[in-house]
Structures are given as C-alpha cells and as structure tokens.
Structure 1
Amino acid sequence: MKETWWKEAVVYQIYPRSFMDSNGDGIGDLGGIIRKLDYLKELGVNVIWLSPIYRSPNDDNGYDISDYCEIMEEFGTMEEFDRLLKAMHERGLKLMMDLVVNHTSDEHPWFQAALKDKNSPYRDYYFFRDGKPGGLPPNNWCSHFGFSAWEKEPEGEQYFLHLYTKKQPDLNWDNPSVREEVYRIMQFWTDKGIDGFRMDVINYISKAAELPDMPEDGPHLATPYFANGPHVHEYLQEMNRRILSQRDFITVGEMVSVTTDQARLYTHEDRHELNMVFTFEHMYLDAVGEDKWQIRQWKLSELKAVFGKWQTSLADGCWNSLYLNNHDQARMVSRFGDDGKYRVESAKMLATFLHTLQGTPYIYQGEELGMTNIRFGSIDQYKDIDTLNHYAEAVTVFHEDPKRVMEAIYAKGRDNARTPMQWDASPNAGFTDAVPWIPVNPNYTEINAEAAIRDTESIYHYYQDLIRIRRHHKVVVYGDYNPVCEEHPSIYAYTRRYQGQMLLVVLNFFSDPAVIDLPKACLPENGVRLIGNYEDAPACEVHMKLRAFEAVAFLGGDGGEQIMI
C-alpha cells in the first residue's frame, strides 16, 4: 500500500452560502469562513473543500459560473480569498477548490459570444444543433433537473445542450481550445497555491459524438451517451500532465453512474488521472433506479454489498472516498440513522462507519453536530432549482399529488443540506444578524456548535476522537477490509489488518437491540476498545449484544494498547 498524505487526510466540505455571514447580508461569505478556521482546526480536519466561490448568477447556487477567475460578489473579493488561503495554510489546513467545467453559465462571455455570432469560434465551445422537424429538439434527452436537455437559442434557430438547468450549457471538450481554457483556469488557481480540486460531474466531459436519441421505450436521461464517454480518460490524463502533476494535489471526481471497474481506470495510481471518485451507487439504495424522487426503503444487505464491493475492488492501487451526505444529498442522520430519539447514537454510529473504512472521509458542514433535514411548510420556502423543477414537473405535467411530492422533497431535497450552519442558540443560529437567505432549521436552539463543544459526550467530540484515531493508527487508514457475518440482518461488522495490527468494527444500524456471534478468528489478539458510542461497551468476545445504533471498534496486535480513546 502506497502511503500518501491525502489518504490519511479528513476533508471538510464548506457550502459557503450557508456557513457563516460576516457582513450582515444574510449570506455566508469568505470572511465568515476565516472567522471559523480555528473551529475547523480544533475539529481536527486536514483539508477544506469549498463549494464554488466563483462569479455566478446563481441559477444553481454557484455551479453556473460566469467568470472562473473572479470571486462571487456576495462572497467577497479576491483579496479576501488570498487572506483565507494564507490563514488556512498558517493553520496547516489545505484547500481544495470545486472545479465546474462540464458546463458554464449562459452568462459566461464564451457563451454570450457564441449567441451573438453563428460564425464565432466560441460556437464550437458548446453543443449547438439543429432541431428535428416539427419544432422538436435535436434528441429526446432530458436534463437532470427535469424537462428537455435542449433549449432554443434566444435569437436563432438552433438548440444548445444543457444536462442541468437551461442556464448551464455544456462545454464541448472535443474542442482543444476548450481544454486549453480549462487548463488556463486551473493554472490560475494552482499559481495561487491551492492544494487540490474536487471536479464536478467530471465523467460527463466526453459525450457520444452523434448525440443519439435514447430508445423510445427507455429512460430519456441519456446517461450511456454522456457519462464515461469515448475520450474521458484521454482528457483527464492530458489534464494530469498539464496541471495536476505540477503539485502533490488531492483530487476527487464527482462521477454519477460509474462502476467499480470504471473507477479503477479513473483512480489507479499507474494511470495518472485522479486520486478518488465520488460514487453514487450507495446514494441510490433508497431510490427506484436512479430516480431519487421515487423512494423505497433501503436495506442493510444492499448497503453492505455496495460498500463491500467498492472496498475490495479499489483496494489494489486505487482509493475510495467515504461520504454519506454533501450539498446535493439529504442529511445522513435523517436518511440512514434516526433524527429523533436516537439522533446522537445513530450519528455517532454512522460516523464510526465512515471513518473506519479504507478511504478518505468527507465531512459535510454540520454533520459533526448531527444536523438534520428540514421540513418547510410550503414549496415557496425552497430555493433549490432541482427541487423547484421537480415539484413543477411532477404536479403540473404528471399530475402527482402535491402532498406526496412534498414528502419526497422532505426526504431527498437538496435544501435539507443547505440550511445555515447552526453555531449557537442566538437568533438565526449565530449564522447572521440579518434575514438568512434560506430559513434556519428550528432545532438550532438544541443542535448547535456552542452546545456541542460544551458537552464532552457530543457528536462533535466523537468526531474529534475518530479523526485523532485515524491520525495515530495506520490500520484505520490502510488496513484491508474483510466483512464478517455478512448475512446478519441488522449488524454490519468487518475487520481491518495492517502491519501487525487488527481492527474489528461492529455496528448496529437499527434501533432494536441485536446479538451477533462472531468467528473467533475475527477477534483481535488482546483486543481493547478503541472507540464506542456508549459510555460502556460490550467486551471483545465472540458473543456480543449491541444496543440501539451501537457502534464499537476494537484494536489488537502490535501497538494495540496505544492511543486509546
């Protein structure tokens, strides 16, 4: 196993709009992040991933970029960014920027030039096509946010492709000039001294050249024709040669619809592409197919199968990213745990799970506090374009019951993750002195950072312990993964081994107590408790009884007695 700093790191994602407001306009900003760097340093994380902070009209909250080398005015100035980066580095924190280059904003100068002149070289920066007879778009693809993936240009006859909102036209990476522009942007930020890139839907950058129709009887989300396309590895290897090889960067690619075999191609250390990918396979466990709005009950057996497959398939020369929520997903304690009676226990159990697998853990802001989903009373209170488009299409086009649509939004809407960070029990959770851009979750008076820091048994302090354990025990980072008692209906157990040490992790994923009989070979020699989410814990024995959402990890072997929590 090749040991590297980014494998041993813990990443913390900041959604700047909702993190901390420093100037009283109700919107989080760079100044607010600077104020809270000591909080992040104390938590113990190594890397900060910032969701986009570039200039943007905010149709999709910053993922529609109009200038990649300027800061969004609501967030601050380039001078403030420079101060932020300097302050991070002074604290030993690294910065990972969000690179969004599958598409731009329709207000980007490239696209505006393409609209003004049909003969402009910028026309080929995007996908402009003639429509079909009868006023139909070029093909039957739909966007991820509903409705057609094609929009007719305002003053012309052609359509342009947008896999997301109509204000996010897709870039044509087959044009070498586009790739040169992207590398120029990356070089700009590299020269500033950043430490890595998270790459938005980066496996979409190579589309099937002919942009064919999907079969009429099939889904119109044309994933086979725009994901993992014919030249994607060629382009990423070129990017690596030109930019990523300059520094010891941390890189992770967001990749919808990627298999483990494909992920190996993207991440194997011999291929010189990326360090990690964000897989979505586990994010669809509670969905019908890849339609997140069609909800079904997830099963532990399926979760075990998915995580087990990724753990074993990427164990040789590749690396996993570990996450259960982010800015695009519901809060993990509401989705995979219990955000009511057992909120604390289940949040700690899920954290134990993520931080004891092989891979780099990603913490989404507020996760370390056990922040929960939000239930706004009206669709009018929601801000997310994906949520609003889904509601409009479901109710007006497909005539679904609005109450049923809202229940799906309560469970899966992206605004669940985007309510303001809950800093204290003062008005607006200490996030702002003004009216926040989106309402604060009413439970902030109980769930907030100030209260969590005071309470030594809080979820926050448990995260500190988990991060400290990873830092002191390489078996937690590099150890191989071996599932135990895979058929157990409610307990997920596995072992990790590395350089003479052995880790045993036993997790009850449900509220009912559960009993497990472990094979004796799975018990670490002279095993002692490394961490657990109850004050007392079961002994490291064959027969083990776990309480509601109980998590416990035992360490044995050489050095097993060290750094106990």
Structure 2
Amino acid sequence: MQHGSTDRPWWERGVIYQIYPRSFQDSDGDGIGDLAGIEARLDHVATLGVDAIWLSPVFPSPMADFGYDVADYCGIDPMFGDLAAFDRLLAAVHARGLKLLLDFVPNHSSDRHPWFQQSRSSRDDPRRDWYIWRDPAPGGGPPNNWISDFGGPAWEHDAATGQYFLHTFLKEQPDLNWRDPDLRAAMMAAMRFWFDRGVDGFRIDVLWHIVKARGLPDNPVNPDWHPGLNARDQVIQTFSTDQPEAHAIAADMRALADSFGDRALVGEIFLPNDRHARWFGKPDRPEVHLPFNFQLIENAWDAAVLARVIGDYDASIPAHGWPNWVFGSHDAPRIAARIGEAQARLAAVLLLTLRGTPTLFQGDEIGIGEVAIPPDRVRDPQEIRQPGIGLGRDRSRTPMPWDASAHAGFSSAEPWLPLNADWSTRNVTAQEADAGSMLHLYRSLLALRRANATLSIGDFALVEADTGVLAYERRSGAERLLVALNLGGEPRPLRLPAGAVVAETLASTLPLRTIDGMLAPDEGLILRLTEAD
C-alpha cells in the first residue's frame, strides 16, 4: 500500500499522548489532578513532540469508575474545574499547535444521570427506553446469563418497578439503549456540543459494546474458563457485543465528525483482526478513523510473536483504513513493568516506527515501571471486586512525577494514589538533565519521526532476522530505513536486506557506535540504507 505523500491528515501523520487528568498535575492542593494543572504542564507535552492529547473523562461524575460513569455529558466535574477552565485549556492546547481529544462514554451513563433517574422512576416514563430494562427470567432472577466485565451478573434488580436494568460494568453504570432514537439523538447532540466548542475529536469508550442483540439471548458458556481468570470470561460475549447495528451508529458519529472538518474518532474495540477491520466502515460510509489496536499490549514480548502479530494486523487494514498502535493506557500494565526498562527503550522505538498512528501513555516517556499499591490505597473498583488476579488498574494511574520536591511536584498534598517508589530520581526534571534518559530517547525518536515522513506514513515490510530479533523496513521513494530490535539478552547478527549497506545510524537505544554486523543485547537501531556499490 503506497503512502508516500506528506499531504495526509494529522491523525495519520501524528502521535497521540494520553493524559489521565486525575494524575497529571494538581493545581489546587487536593491531591487530584485537574484541568488547570494540565494547562500548567502543556510545555512538557509540546516539547515532547507529540501532536494530540487525549484526555480521559472530565465530565461530572460520582466517580464510581473514576469518570467512566458520566452524570452529565455536557459539563466538567468540579474536581477538574469548569467549562471556563476547559475553554482555557483548549485554547492553550491549540496555541501550541496541538489537538485535543475527549473521552466519550456512549455505552453507559452514571446511575446519577438525570436520564437514568427519570428512566427508573416509572415503567411509563418517556425515558424508560433510554436504558435497557427487562422482566425477571421465568421463575425469577436475571433476564439472561450475561456477566459484568467487572464480575457478577450484568443485571441489577430495581424493586420499585420490578424489572432489571443492564450494566456491562458496575451497577452504578447502567447501559444506554442505542436502539431508542431519542437517546441516540441526545448522545449525538452531546458530541456536537463539544465539537462546537472546538475539540478535535473523541476517543470512544467500549464502542463495540453499544448495541446488544435483539431479544438478549444467553451468551455461550466459555468451556475454557477457570477460576483465576476474569469472571467476565465465563461466557463468550456473542450477543452482548459487536452487533451489526452498531456500525450504522459509528458511521453516523463519523459523519458528524467529518461535518466539522479536520476531526478524528478513535474507537476502543477489542476484537480479532477480521472483525476489528469492519470498524473502519466502507469507503463510501466510513466509521471511526482509528479502531484502537491493542495487540502490542495483549501479546508476549517475543520477536517471533510480534512479527506475526504485526504482519497479520498490517495485512488486515483495508485500503481506505489506517493502522494504529499502543503499548500502554489507563487500563493496561505499564510497558516498563512488563518487560523492564532496557527493553522498554526498544518498545519506544517499535511504537514510534511502525506504520500507523501511535498513542503514548503519560509516564511511559520516563519509564515508570511497577508501582506497588498497598491494600489500603487500592481505589480501582475492578481490583476491589476481583482482587489478586492481576486486573487492577491503579498501577497505571499513579501520579506523574515532575521533580524531586515534596510529592514529586504533582501536588502540595498527598496524592490520591501512591507515586512510583523511585520518583525522587525517576522524574521529568531528573531526566531532562540526563542525555541518556528515556525522556531524551522519546524526544529524539519523536523529532526523527516528525522530520522524516518515511517513519510516519512510509511503506512497511517485515524483513528476515535472526532469532530474537524483530526487523522491518520503512520505505518512501528512494528512502530505505531499517529498524532492527534485539529483544533478547544475547548479541545477535544484524542482517541487512540483500544488496543493502548502512549509510547512517539515525537512532539507537544504546550509545551510538560503529555498526559491526552485530546487535548488542537490548539494542535497537534505526538505520538508513543505501545500495551496495
């Protein structure tokens, strides 16, 4: 697939940086980050070299699931500020040449949302069908066997009206009914509210969940489930996710975004490649610009596995689609915790040199690793409901360490979650002063990507490599770049494509050295190739 032109939309050429607002910067001394804090730290984001910011939810919320339970889709929670503070932040983001994406949560609202309060007030309320209500099963009990993604039945009985309501996540997060045209119109109006305000797009939470199969049949039982796995996976979510009707909704969202010009939609979608690719839509009826691709998170850090995963995913992208990649998020274990700091440097090279749009999670640029969360500091409802099986998300949401002052410069008060244990030395200021730091590596890679379109929109091809080495070429016109990553702890031969020689080393995860035909342990290289004489 040819992608040689630099005249491409920003969401293809650019890099997205996710900010978890509670944990970026506190401006008012309550130990929780806020919009003014983000504004105060924008220069860090701008000098990093990314192109867009994605904010996790900042809407009014009781915070049962830390903002993913929305009580008002057109406001700002007082914890974070107000609409004026948002407008100031948006202006400051745009003044630095950056874009801003909000996190839209269409599958469910908070049970405190006025819509749900009205819906549950009576079976006859006009907004009853804005949520999914059903009578008990024959003989009593939940209407079907669906299981919440946080464990336990996905149904909650409402004594006042005698029916159950559906909640894919917490019972405080009732699912919205997108089959109701009035609900659908209200949610589209909420998106329009933020587009009118100037936001550059949305990351759309659990998009593949938003429509359920008619009749709500039982999901198939998963024969491979056993205790110790996520309780959600006791059933296969055949009828509760990825329904055909959801694509028309995604297409309508895309049409709305496109009506505002240069906007972008990123859809959270966990599906196999063939089903995942459908969320690009069709050329004449496109859906989300970037169906989020989590395969670098979900698969082992192994050269052969990654080569297969990357090749299969790249091949699955339709001609009108565009790939994307992510290693970390507010939900996933940190990459440095998974594979160690030395290999996390290679992960930075991989993320920023694959064909497609990368998303970088705050703190990964300084290599934050494992953060121990004492039992009395656990805040994540998923960990509280299913403790001890590795589902906790607090470890990824810890505050950003800025310097070695009290509370790492994040707040004047005790932060809402613990800092990384090495915050006094692993912080932005310390890494600013260290030319060999992870921060400087990310900045150099992002600058190289920005200066060289081959790394952002050039063609991609895996190349044959030694055991434990992942290697691929990026090409644009006569330019040939080789990325070679030694994912192992032993030296490995560096194989060049036939007829090629190294013209220049553009970047390395280790101190630059003369290329000698070998890759050192933990070494990743970006090389410019030329034809041999």
**Same fold per TM (> 0.5)?**
yes
* Aligned equivalents of 2:492, 2:239: Cα separation in 1: 46
Root mean square deviation, CA, Å: 1.9
Aligned positions of 1:74-85 closer than 5 A: 74-85=79-90
CA shift in 2, pair 1:270/1:478, >3 Å: farther
Query: Shift of the alpha carbon at 1:424?
Result: 0.9
Question: CA-to-partner distance for each residue in 1:400-427, whole Å, 9 max, x for gaps?
Answer: xxxxx2xx43xx5311111100111112
1:224 matches 2:238: yes
Instruction: Choose the corresponding residue for 1:430, options 409, 422, 427.
Output: 409
**Match in the other structure for 1:251:** 265
Question: CA-to-partner distance for each residue in 1:134-166, whole Å, 9 max, x for gaps?
Answer: 432111111111111111124231111111111
* Aligned equivalents of 1:9, 1:62: Cα separation in 2: 27
CA shift in 2, pair 1:234/1:268, >3 Å: closer
CA shift in 2, pair 1:129/1:429, >3 Å: same
1:358 matches 2:355: yes
Residue pair 1:260, 1:310 contacting (<8 A) in 2 also: no
Deviates more, 1:88-97 or 1:274-283: 274-283
* Aligned equivalents of 1:237, 1:36: Cα separation in 2: 35
- The 3-state SS of whatever aligns with 2:320 is coil
Give 1:551's aligned amino acid. G
* Aligned equivalents of 1:80, 1:142: Cα separation in 2: 39
**Match in the other structure for 1:390:** 386
**Match in the other structure for 1:454:** 433
Instruction: Choose the corresponding residue for 1:141, options 139, 143, 146.
Output: 146
Residue pair 1:24, 1:434 contacting (<8 A) in 2 also: yes
**Match in the other structure for 2:228:** none
**Match in the other structure for 2:520:** 547
Using the size of structure 2 for normalisation, the TM-score is 0.93
**Match in the other structure for 1:310:** 313
Deviates more, 1:456-465 or 1:237-246: 237-246
Give 2:314's aligned amino acid. Q
* Aligned equivalents of 1:62, 1:86: Cα separation in 2: 23
- The 3-state SS of whatever aligns with 1:527 is strand
Aligned positions of 1:51-66 closer than 5 A: 51-66=56-71
**Match in the other structure for 1:157:** 162
**Match in the other structure for 1:496:** 474
Give 1:447's aligned amino acid. R
Residue pair 1:139, 1:213 contacting (<8 A) in 2 also: yes
1:67 matches 2:72: yes
Question: CA-to-partner distance for each residue in 1:386-441, whole Å, 9 max, x for gaps?
Answer: 111111xxxxxxxxxxxxx2xx43xx531111110011111211111112111112
Aligned positions of 1:63-212 closer than 5 A: 63-212=68-217
Residue pair 2:292, 2:324 contacting (<8 A) in 1 also: yes
**Match in the other structure for 2:365:** 368
Query: Shift of the alpha carbon at 1:526?
Result: 5.4
Question: CA-to-partner distance for each residue in 1:170-193, whole Å, 9 max, x for gaps?
Answer: 111111111101111011101111
User: Structure 2: 5+ residue runs without aligned partners?
Assistant: 224-232
CA shift in 2, pair 1:99/1:217, >3 Å: closer
Give 1:496's aligned amino acid. R
User: Structure 1: 5+ residue runs without aligned partners?
Assistant: 287-297, 392-404, 559-565
Question: CA-to-partner distance for each residue in 1:248-300, whole Å, 9 max, x for gaps?
Answer: 112210002242453244256543211111123443325xxxxxxxxxxx543
- The 3-state SS of whatever aligns with 1:142 is coil
**Match in the other structure for 1:396:** none
* Aligned equivalents of 2:521, 2:100: Cα separation in 1: 37
1:483 matches 2:462: yes
Give 1:382's aligned amino acid. V
- The 3-state SS of whatever aligns with 2:286 is coil
- The 3-state SS of whatever aligns with 2:75 is strand
* Aligned equivalents of 1:450, 1:435: Cα separation in 2: 20
Give 2:194's aligned amino acid. W
**Match in the other structure for 1:347:** 344
**Match in the other structure for 1:294:** none
Aligned positions of 1:386-425 closer than 5 A: 386-391=382-387, 405=388, 408-409=389-390, 413-425=392-404
- The 3-state SS of whatever aligns with 1:67 is coil
Question: CA-to-partner distance for each residue in 1:317-336, whole Å, 9 max, x for gaps?
Answer: 2111211100010101111x
Query: Shift of the alpha carbon at 1:217?
Result: 5.6
* Aligned equivalents of 1:526, 1:509: Cα separation in 2: 21
Query: Shift of the alpha carbon at 1:557?
Result: 5.4
Give 2:251's aligned amino acid. Q
**Match in the other structure for 1:511:** 489
- Aligned residue pairs: how many? 517
Give 2:25's aligned amino acid. M
Query: Shift of the alpha carbon at 1:310?
Result: 1.3
* Aligned equivalents of 1:33, 1:377: Cα separation in 2: 27
Query: Shift of the alpha carbon at 1:553?
Result: 0.7
CA shift in 2, pair 1:245/1:555, >3 Å: farther
- The 3-state SS of whatever aligns with 2:73 is strand
Give 2:122's aligned amino acid. D
Question: CA-to-partner distance for each residue in 1:315-372, whole Å, 9 max, x for gaps?
Answer: 632111211100010101111x21xxxx2x3222110001000011111011110011
- The 3-state SS of whatever aligns with 2:74 is strand
Give 1:532's aligned amino acid. S
Residue pair 1:266, 1:274 contacting (<8 A) in 2 also: yes
* Aligned equivalents of 2:202, 2:289: Cα separation in 1: 10
Identity value in percent: 39
CA shift in 2, pair 1:313/1:17, >3 Å: same
Instruction: Choose the corresponding residue for 1:22, options 12, 20, 27.
Output: 27
**Match in the other structure for 2:328:** 325
* Aligned equivalents of 1:309, 1:186: Cα separation in 2: 34
Instruction: Choose the corresponding residue for 2:503, options 509, 527, 540.
Output: 527
Structure 1 runs, 4 residues or longer, greater than 6 Å off: none
* Aligned equivalents of 2:270, 2:190: Cα separation in 1: 24
**Match in the other structure for 1:234:** 248
CA shift in 2, pair 1:497/1:551, >3 Å: same
* Aligned equivalents of 1:203, 1:553: Cα separation in 2: 36
CA shift in 2, pair 1:171/1:14, >3 Å: same
CA shift in 2, pair 1:253/1:217, >3 Å: closer
Residue pair 1:125, 1:178 contacting (<8 A) in 2 also: yes
Question: CA-to-partner distance for each residue in 1:190-213, whole Å, 9 max, x for gaps?
Answer: 111111111101121121111111
* Aligned equivalents of 2:94, 2:525: Cα separation in 1: 35
Query: Shift of the alpha carbon at 1:246?
Result: 2.2
Residue pair 2:373, 2:394 contacting (<8 A) in 1 also: no
Give 2:351's aligned amino acid. L
Deviates more, 1:318-327 or 1:130-139: 130-139
* Aligned equivalents of 1:476, 1:315: Cα separation in 2: 20
Residue pair 1:352, 1:551 contacting (<8 A) in 2 also: yes
Residue pair 2:257, 2:263 contacting (<8 A) in 1 also: no
